[in-house]
Chains A and B, each alone.
Chain A
């Protein structure tokens, strides 16, 4: 077969048509398969899933047992989160008045911003887990900040999505402390 003018464009057209076929069939496949949409879920009753390497804001490695043993309150917070700032005084209050072991999860936040936030507003946490990319929080079932988990011996007993205040505390957490 001889090479004639317009041959190269014919090859290009055929190639592009295959691409279009691929595009259309992918769309078709996507449209006709049922996909489950996960609703925001309360994680109560689930086992706490941890990832191996957890570090605090200073970069020190965290001993996993400090989270899985006994009664621990995990609080997801971030320096960019306004509602976290609102619940912050209440968190300080409960850690002062009651025997609450409060561990923070610094959610999608730069360590230096998180440190500055704690310096300015006070630090109610025993320590804060640095979760810059949110992978730990993802395993935990976090949908955003703030969220609070009550963990007893590695099991999620209570899960609050949103601000914790006196009302929520009395309703959800008071009986355990």
Chain B
């Protein structure tokens, strides 16, 4: 295997430049020149990306990476997105994004000291990532000869959602690295008002991006993988959730700055969010956990990434340790706003620990006892559901905590309890759903009151918290009412399930550009409404991979899903038919949650 000179020269040059930027800040020499070098490096990495994309678009299979992830039959759109479909290219894109963030900071941020420190941290990270990329996952490896055709892009990745899902996730990781760089700057310099504003904007962007990434992944699992659900507590999903949880806690903890309490805790969360995202990259890309997402596992790659995780942890905690005496670690007053945020952080951290243990315990179990185990969804849902309700209780209480408590509240609580009993006994509404509706109602009324009284409100905050309650309620709604059944059905047969009738209209064979498919057509009748559904099984022409395309009809309150199984000798087909409630509501409330955060960021940026 040989290396392409041009591509590797660019990689080497950018690695060198990051080394120069880092040392110039640390040695306190030519600092102003370092900003220009940041821009130059971003330009070089952009050329790298364009160069590699060009190889994809021109089908240059001499490049190993192009050979492995593309072929001549692939639509042009996917040839472009194939750039970040595997480990090497996606890592290159991630480093480019890191560089771009440094450049954006250099243009926007006025405080020179903060900018210099942040640039130093970013170039430190980018330097080691580039060394890692060049040595163990070089995207510019070439064959000595030109192969006739490439292998193919993994068929599961040939989906529009999948084109934006992975980059969103690692852009989220990158943005948490930027947040981290400013936290480090704050440790060295001072957490002044300007820096806190920068942190609020960046952590908001990072949080929203990571959320979009997770949401798209969830949608992809639902629509493309046909897993029949939106969240599976799959190790790799969890690994993306960990920095998200730490980031959520961090975003809230920024308020501690106002009363100068627990600044060290805030710093810890900022570092934790970044380290968890690095650990996420390590776990996904080393193949240490078996999962649908596992990239090709190469032990040397894993060891290298693990060393990077160790190095970043060591460096950040050493800095944190030496400088921690400057950071306040006084506790907030009981029943103050900061106190409630602390409660929120403790609950979020508990959820994080639950997810962390559930995800990594199988690894430790294998090391200590040599047994392979996997942890099922019940572990997570049983432990996390009460914690989420506690969290909702805390932030709902936050809306009222300045008010005096009097006998009226007792009356309200008794009335609510009575209402619950009635609803439970006569309409079989569960406690969870009742609580969901209740909190939703309380927050909506509160919002209505603010609007009516023309009080100034932080609309993004109320909208965001409302979305969390709506999301929780939708998840419970889905959990409690969804039904599924396995069927064996012949074409032209029909069968009743719940309040619907499903009819198997027939099978047709369809040929597309790069796959052939068997399409089962179905008709679902529910309350005089008729819906048509097509469920597919695809065989990709190159590699012969078979994938299932679930037939899904989404309505606002429920979805109908049909997965086409195997054909039996007598001409009948096995099917899985499910009715899922609240899926659309889950997507909508998640989107509104993300939009609330983005609106908050825009408002903050305008100030």
Q: Which residues of A contact B (CB under 8 A)?
A: 4-10, 12-14, 16-17, 20, 24, 26-32, 35, 80, 82-83, 85-86, 165
Contact = CB atoms under 8 A, between A and B. Distances in A.
Contacts of B58: none
Q: Which size bracket describes the interface of B in this complex?
A: 35 or more
B299 A31 contact: yes
Interface of B: 264-265, 268, 275, 282, 286, 288, 299, 302-303, 306, 309-310, 313-314, 317, 320-321, 324-330, 363-364, 366-367, 486, 488, 565-566, 568-569, 574
Contacts of B313: 17, 20, 24
A6 B325 contact: yes
B286 A31 contact: yes
A31 B328 CA distance: 40
The prevalent SS among residues of A at the interface is: helix
B494 to A, nearest CB: 19
A27 B288 contact: yes
A35 B327 CA distance: 46
Closest 3 A/B residue pairs (Cβ): A6-B325, A9-B264, A82-B574
B366 A10 contact: no
A31 B303 contact: yes
B366 A35 contact: yes
A32 B302 CA distance: 9
Given A17-B314, A26-B367, A27-B363, 6 more contacts: A6-B327, A9-B265, A9-B324, A10-B321, A13-B320, A28-B306
A85 B488 contact: yes
A27 B325 contact: no
Given A31-B286, A86-B568, A5 B325 contact: yes
A3 to B, nearest CB: 12
Nearest to A4: B325
A5 B486 contact: no
Q: Pick the most buried of A6, A9, A14, A20: most chain B CB atoms within 10 A of its CB.
A: A9
Nearest to A167: B569
A13 B568 contact: no
A4 B330 CA distance: 12
A32 B299 CA distance: 7
A39 B335 CA distance: 59
Contacts of A4: 325
A85 to B, nearest CB: 7
The prevalent SS among residues of B at the interface is: helix
B324 A82 contact: no
Contacts of A13: 268, 317, 320-321, 324
Contacts of A83: 566
Contacts of B299: 31-32
Contacts of B363: 26-27, 30
Contact of B329 (A5, A17, A32): A5
B568 A9 contact: no
Given A6-B329, A20-B313, A82 B488 contact: yes
Contacts of B330: 5
A10 B324 contact: yes
B286 to A, nearest CB: 6
A36 to B, nearest CB: 10
A14 B321 contact: yes
Contacts of B566: 82-83
Nearest to A13: B321
19 contacts: A5-B330, A7-B325, A9-B264, A9-B265, A9-B327, A9-B329, A10-B324, A10-B325, A13-B268, A17-B321, A24-B309, A24-B310, A26-B363, A26-B364, A28-B303, A30-B288, A30-B363, A30-B367, A86-B488
B325 A31 contact: no
B404 to A, nearest CB: 35
A158 B13 CA distance: 64
A95 B549 CA distance: 39
A30 B286 CA distance: 11
Given A17-B317, A31-B302, A35-B366, A6 B486 contact: no
A9 to B, nearest CB: 4
B329 A29 contact: no
Contact of A8 (B286, B329, B568): B329
A5 B366 CA distance: 42
Nearest to A17: B317
Nearest to B286: A31
Nearest to A89: B570
A32 B366 contact: no
Nearest to A166: B569
B164 to A, nearest CB: 30
A31 B309 CA distance: 14
A95 B402 CA distance: 77
Contacts of B264: 6, 9
Contacts of B328: 5
A35 B329 CA distance: 45
Contacts of A82: 486, 488, 565-566, 574
Contacts of A35: 366
Contacts of A12: 268
B84 to A, nearest CB: 25
Contacts of A31: 286, 288, 299, 302-303, 306
Contacts of A20: 275, 310, 313, 317
B268 to A, nearest CB: 8
Contacts of B310: 20, 24
Contacts of A8: 329
A5 to B, nearest CB: 7
Contacts of B574: 82
Nearest to B323: A6
Contacts of A27: 282, 288, 306, 363
Nearest to B572: A86
B135 to A, nearest CB: 17
Nearest to A81: B486
Contacts of B565: 82
